[in-house]
Amino acid sequence: MGSDPMLRAALIGFPSSGKTTLFQLMTSARDAPRGKGDVNIGISKVPDDRLDVLTGMYNPRKRVPATVEFTDLIAPSRTGAQALVDVAGYKNADALVHVVRAFRDPAVPHPSGSIDPARDAQAMEDELILADLGVAERRLERIEKDLKKGKSAELEKERDLVQRCREALEQGQPLRALELTGNDLKLLRGFQFLSAKPLLLVINLDEADVAEVGADVRKAAAKTGLAGFLAHAATRAVALCAKIELEIAQLEAADAQAFLADLGLAESGLDRVIRASYDLLGYISFFTVGEDECRAWSIARGTPAQLAAGEIHSDIARGFIRAEVVAYDALVTRGSMHACKEHGEVRLEGKEHIVQDGDIINFRFAT
Ligand SMILES: Nc1nc2c(ncn2[C@@H]2O[C@H](COP(=O)(O)OP(=O)(O)OP(=O)(O)O)[C@@H](O)[C@H]2O)c(=O)[nH]1
Ligand SMILES: [Mg+2]
């Protein structure tokens, strides 16, 4: 694994909603995108002030942030649920980023003939729900057939879960709203239900509304008629104007900062989208530090130390002895690993230790 980005997010949305503009924004200022089949793939670096502080302390040869991978359809004929079912680069997306058009520009026709963000958000939700309903129904038929051949507790559990899913879907509820956990969640992952995937709504604001709305999602939702949708859809949202953000991203850093400040924005839309995508899955970062490299690693919240070690290298997980762990705040307060040791703030943890966000870890392992 190691260098593989753990989080893959697929851009969906109706034609001309601004997906590719957002994709360019996410990737142009960073690494060049690479094409693969029907999709462009771009890697974005997750902004993290803590990594900057650590880099300042260690002055390493390399600074490696956590990453998120975004995919965009190159020649989209289907841009919603069907793409997620059909297109190779979209099939196993961890999260969906729905770009909702709120910019009015009459020079860019909308396929439905008018600008209505709430309608579009709901229409995409319905697409996802409808696709899932088909999957749930086929799965239930299959389970009933198998149950006739022989009862099993496992199968019955699965049937109950899929039935629950079907009921929710029939009521127009996306599966992500069920907030399943543990085994149920694991079972469900196998089906690749689309409405179960974490969803980030990117409200693509009109240029004229940016100054008024800023980065305030509530204001954006009120302005674009999305407030009701966001209140019940178990969804996160970010508001930005992709076109303006793309222009800003192409400026020199100092000019970009001034431009953002003019618009009343503390952080670029790029950083907000990446961070929101990252947070969406409940991902956290731990760090490895040294003069050679300071690096942020992504893991799901609740990951034990040995599994986290496997992110770096399978050998480290296999030969795992102990994890030396310091909390980020302790290291920054004390100023060095040595000082932390003297104050008893470096803990020796075993395989099962649940890694916390911001932990700085040195894995001891046998080869
Ligand atoms: N005025 C304005 N135009 C925008 C904005 N975002 C995108 N556009 C324009 O809208 C058109 C479509 O944008 P794209 O980013 O190509 O949209 P898309 O969703 O990738 O479209 P398809 O891939 O064809 O489905 C382009 O001409 C963009 O320049 C925006 O925030 N404001
Ligand atoms: Mg496009």
Question: Closest Cα partner for 296 from 280, 285, 311, 282?
Answer: 285
Ligand 2 mean position, distance from CA 69 (Å): 17
pLDDT for 34? 67
Domain 124-195 has CATH 1.10.274.50: no
Q: Choose which residue among 12, 14, 19, 21 to substitute to test ligand 1 binding: the one with the highest number of ligand atoms within 8 A of its C-beta.
A: 21
Ligand 1 mean position, distance from CA 204 (Å): 9
pLDDT for 263? 85
| Residues facing residue 64 across a β-bridge | 295
- pTM for the model stands at 0.87
One-letter amino acid for residue 80 of the chain: G
Q: Residue 24 CA: which ligand is closest?
A: 1
- For the chain, the distance separating the N- and C-terminal CA atoms, rounded to the nearest angstrom, is 18
Q: Choose which residue among 39, 105, 206 to substitute to test ligand 1 binding: the one with the highest number of ligand atoms within 8 A of its C-beta.
A: 105
pLDDT for 28? 65
Q: Token digits for 327?
A: 């909390």
pLDDT for 5? 47
pLDDT for 67? 86
What CATH homologous superfamily does 302-365 map to? Beta-grasp domain (3.10.20.30)
Within 8 A by CB and 6+ apart from 53, the residues are 332
Ligand 2 mean position, distance from CA 73 (Å): 6
Q: Write the residue with the smallest CA distance to atom 13 of ligand 1.
A: 18
Q: How many CB atoms lie within 10 A of CB 223?
A: 19
- Specify the domain boundaries for CATH 3.40.50.300 within the chain: 7-114+197-280
One-letter amino acid for residue 364 of the chain: R
CB 290 within 8 A of CB 276: no
For the chain, list residues with pLDDT below 70. 1-6, 28-36, 76
**For ligand 1, is residue 55 a contact (CB within 6 Å)?**
no
Coil, strand or helix at 69 = strand
**For ligand 1, is residue 16 a contact (CB within 6 Å)?**
yes
Q: Choose which residue among 12, 14, 20 to substitute to test ligand 1 binding: the one with the highest number of ligand atoms within 8 A of its C-beta.
A: 20
- Angle, helix 253-262 to helix 242-249, in steps of 10 degrees: 150
CB 169 within 8 A of CB 195: yes
pLDDT for 2? 41
Please give the number of the atom of ligand 1 that sits closest to the Cα of 105: 1
Fold exhibited by the domain 7-114+197-280? Rossmann fold (3.40.50)
Q: How many CB atoms lie within 10 A of CB 17?
A: 27
- Specify the domain boundaries for CATH 3.10.20.30 within the chain: 302-365
pLDDT for 292? 96
Indicate the Cα dihedral angle 253, 29, 269, 248, nearest 10°. 50
Coil, strand or helix at 45 = strand
